[in-house]
């Protein structure tokens, strides 16, 4: 007599990936489908995970990265193998550099063929390609390890200093079937993946003693302070210290730009004159002149709050390192700040106020002018005035001059509402960040784009329209990279290297996908178009035509752009 056994239920790698993501609270995936991950996207959507499909993997990765920054959960980007993976790598590297938690999940080709370089479809050793650009990189070689792989990727992305993580999923692992019970038992929920890291009491006492000795103290707020979401603690510490503060661009809004202690309008002066500087989630990288003269006083002493001990002394000796997470470090400092008797000198505060008034008067002259055609000042003033009536709006900003002027003119009053090119200063983040912010928050977004920067990710306006996202794009169109009035110094008829199409009608692009386009040539038209677009809550693009001669080469970064003495000879 033969006994027939009932077959056990089966699952496969596709289902295990989705189950593991759901178990860990992942509710959104950004990506571009294709071999071998199309069915993974379909299944995720069927199981309740929102899938946002893009036109290019770099933008999908940027959306995932900014979602991670806004939520403190890793944003997930899903790509195909080889070329798609490489496209996503730009965003992965940018996320790692900016300390945004993100996981790039890519399908890959058969390991046995790849390792022997036998020419498989889209053959590439993706794991080793990713390692230099990621905080961590993992490959799953068995379906029963998918749960562990995803849990480790999540923990790596958000613990300590956040960053980009790569997770490689070979096609044969995705399609492999295993016993469903075995698969369910293999799943892992990452418990407390970003645990608090308390600073040592000695480091806190040392920092408070140094701050108490300051005559000209200064607080620098960095992107890390904004990411920490310790907003009330930041405010309490700054106000208790009485010290002036300067926010880095993505930290704007932690305290309102019109806060009386803000020294942003006297930035160069305070950086050069401060004797004790408190860095809160800010790094002494190129954005802060590496902490060295002439931007900084050679006798200034630094207190640095950072979660990574290896960041300390990276460019300049740090007299009082406070290593721990921002929330815990600020709580410890606040517990002792009242007894530290911190008292900035009156002449220091008076000098700052004098510089702020002087610089504000100079800025007002530019903003009050009415040039025809518009320049960056007049156009951004119109944008600023409309945004002042819409404080809930997220502002995405990229370009050269568009970024530099926008950072100085657009005031921010709430945290994590300004999203820009960040640590690398890289172009092409605009549409990805705008989509990530809109999807994550459900709120309205204004992307202020240079015409060159917009070109890197402009096709994503179709994505914006497809998902009916409340994103308004303003393209500052001066017909060029930096500016549009350069000339060909050779004998041919080609345009100069920095010149774009002067007559471009960018607004027509969004109209092709069902959005609303606006073409404006003056501040009044820009004000009306932006107010109308925001009120509609629908996708819109404003082609803002400004003077081709406005702007400077490399924006404010001229010193980083070596130029031949003959380059501009006529």
Averaged pLDDT for residues 448-456: 97
In residues, how long is the chain? Answer: 570
Residue 1 binned pLDDT confidence (cut-offs 50, 70, 90):
very low
Ranking 24-33, 50-59, 220-229, 337-346 by mean pLDDT, the lowest is 337-346
Averaged pLDDT for residues 535-556: 93
Residue 557 binned pLDDT confidence (cut-offs 50, 70, 90):
confident
Query: How is residue 354 written in tokens?
Result: 């004098």
Averaged pLDDT for residues 377-406: 97
**CA–CA dist 247, 250 (Å, integer):** 8
Cα-Cα-Cα-Cα torsion 401, 407, 408, 412, nearest 10 degrees, comes to: 160
Number of helical (H) and strand (E) elements in the chain, helices listed first: 22, 19
Check pLDDT > 90 for residue 112.
no
**CA–CA dist 292, 299 (Å, integer):** 10
Check pLDDT > 80 for residue 558.
no
**CA–CA dist 362, 358 (Å, integer):** 6
Q: Residue 191: its pLDDT value, please?
A: 98
Averaged pLDDT for residues 20-42: 97
CB atoms inside a 10 Å sphere around CB 4: 5
Q: Are 330 and 234 in contact (CB under 8 A)?
A: yes
Averaged pLDDT for residues 17-23: 98
Residue 7 binned pLDDT confidence (cut-offs 50, 70, 90):
low
Q: Are 214 and 296 in contact (CB under 8 A)?
A: no
Q: Residue 564: its pLDDT value, please?
A: 58
Averaged pLDDT for residues 390-413: 96
**CA–CA dist 270, 288 (Å, integer):** 12
Q: Are 272 and 294 in contact (CB under 8 A)?
A: yes
Per-residue pLDDT tens over the stretch 127-145: 999 999 999 999 999 999 9
Check pLDDT > 50 for residue 569.
no
Q: Are 188 and 63 in contact (CB under 8 A)?
A: no
Check pLDDT > 60 for residue 5.
no
Half-sphere exposure of 336 (CA within 13 A, CB side): 17
Helices (H), 72-194: 83-98, 111-115, 126-130, 146-158, 171-175, 180-186
Q: Are 275 and 216 in contact (CB under 8 A)?
A: yes
What mean pLDDT value characterizes the chain? 95
Q: Residue 502: its pLDDT value, please?
A: 85
From the list 532, 531, 533, 539, the residue with the least C-alpha distance to 513 is 539
Check pLDDT > 60 for residue 39.
yes
Q: Residue 281: its pLDDT value, please?
A: 98
CB atoms inside a 10 Å sphere around CB 556: 14
**CA–CA dist 282, 254 (Å, integer):** 13
Per-residue pLDDT tens over the stretch 357-383: 999 999 999 999 999 999 999 999 999
Q: Residue 241: its pLDDT value, please?
A: 94
Exposure string of 176-209, with b = 16+ CB inside 10 Å and e = fewer, is bebeeeebeebbbebeebbeebebeeebbebbbe
Query: How far is C-alpha 118 from the chain's CA centre?
Result: 39
Exposure string of 317-329, with b = 16+ CB inside 10 Å and e = fewer, is ebebbbbbbbbbb
Quick one: what percent of the chain has pLDDT higher than 90? 90
177-179/10-12 β-pairing = antiparallel
Exposure string of 469-487, with b = 16+ CB inside 10 Å and e = fewer, is bbbbbbbbbbbbbbbbbbe
Residue 561 binned pLDDT confidence (cut-offs 50, 70, 90):
confident
**CA–CA dist 519, 206 (Å, integer):** 57
Per-residue pLDDT tens over the stretch 263-273: 999 999 999 99
**CA–CA dist 375, 416 (Å, integer):** 28
Q: How far apart are the first and last CA of the chain?
A: 99
Query: How far is C-alpha 377 from the chain's CA centre?
Result: 24
Question: How far is the CA of 236 from the CAs of 239, 259, 306, 336, 400, in angstroms?
Answer: 5, 13, 18, 12, 34
Phi/psi of residue 514, each to 5°?
Answer: 95, 0
Contact residues for 119 (Cβ-Cβ < 8 A; gap 6+): 113
């Amino acid at each position: 007599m033969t006994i027939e056994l009932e077959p056990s239920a089966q699952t496969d790698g596709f289902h295990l990936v989705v189950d593991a993501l759901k178990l860990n609270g992942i509710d959104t995936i950004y990506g571009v489908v294709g071999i071998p991950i199309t069915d993974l996207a379909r299944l995720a959507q069927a199981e309740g995970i929102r899938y946002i499909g893009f036109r290019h993997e770099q933008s999908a990765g940027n959306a995932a990265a900014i979602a991670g920054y806004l939520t403190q959960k890793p944003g997930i980007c899903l790509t195909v193998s080889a070329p798609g993976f490489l496209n996503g790598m730009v965003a992965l590297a940018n996320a790692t550099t900016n300390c945004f938690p993100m996981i790039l999940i890519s399908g890959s080709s058969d390991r046995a063929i790849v390792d022997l370089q036998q020419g498989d479809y889209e053959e590439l050793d993706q794991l080793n390609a990713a390692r230099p650009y990621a905080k961590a990189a993992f490959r799953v070689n068995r379906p029963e390890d998918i749960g562990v792989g995803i849990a480790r990727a999540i923990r790596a992305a958000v613990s300590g200093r956040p960053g980009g993580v790569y997770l490689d999923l070979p096609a044969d692992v995705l399609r492999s079937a295993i016993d469903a019970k075995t698969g369910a038992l293999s799943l892992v929920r990452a418990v407390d993946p970003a645990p608090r890291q308390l600073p040592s009491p000695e480091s806190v006492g040392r920092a408070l003693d140094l701050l108490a000795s300051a005559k000209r103290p200064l607080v620098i707020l960095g992107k890390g302070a904004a990411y920490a979401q310790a907003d009330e603690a930041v405010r309490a510490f700054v106000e208790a210290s009485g010290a002036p503060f300067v926010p880095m661009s993505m930290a704007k809004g932690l305290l309102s730009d019109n806060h009386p202690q803000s020294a942003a309008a006297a930035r160069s002066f305070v950086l050069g004159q401060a004797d004790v500087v408190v860095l809160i989630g800010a790094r002494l990288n190129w954005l802060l002149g590496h902490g060295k003269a002439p931007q900084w006083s050679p006798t200034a002493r630094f207190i640095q709050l950072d979660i990574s001990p290896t960041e300390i002394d990276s460019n300049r000796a740090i007299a009082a390192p406070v290593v721990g997470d921002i929330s815990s470090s600020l709580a410890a400092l606040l517990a002792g700040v009242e007894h530290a008797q911190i008292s900035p000198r009156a002449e220091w505060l008076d000098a700052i106020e004098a510089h702020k008034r002087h610089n504000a008067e100079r800025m007002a002259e530019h903003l009050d002018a009415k040039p025809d055609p518009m320049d960056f000042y007049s156009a951004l003033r119109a944008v600023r005035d409309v945004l002042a009536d819409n404080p809930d709006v997220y502002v995405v900003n990229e370009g050269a001059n568009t970024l530099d002027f926008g950072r100085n003119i657009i005031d921010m009053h709430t945290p994590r509402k300004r999203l820009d090119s960040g640590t690398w200063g890289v172009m092409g983040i605009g549409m990805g960040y705008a989509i990530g912010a809109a999807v994550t928050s459900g709120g309205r977004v204004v992307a202020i784009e240079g015409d060159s920067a917009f070109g890197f990710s402009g096709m994503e306006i179709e994505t914006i329209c497809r998902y009916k996202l409340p994103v308004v794009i303003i393209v500052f169109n001066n017909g060029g990279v930096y500016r549009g009035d350069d000339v060909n110094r050779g004998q041919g008829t080609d345009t100069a290297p920095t010149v774009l199409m002067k007559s471009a009608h960018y607004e027509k692009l969004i109209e092709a996908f069902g959005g609303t386009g606006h073409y404006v040539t003056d501040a009044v038209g820009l004000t009306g178009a932006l107010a109308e677009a925001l009120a509609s809550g629908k996708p819109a693009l404003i082609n803002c035509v400004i003077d081709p001669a406005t702007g400077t080469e490399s924006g404010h970064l001229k010193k980083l752009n070596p130029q031949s003495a003959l380059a501009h000879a006529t």
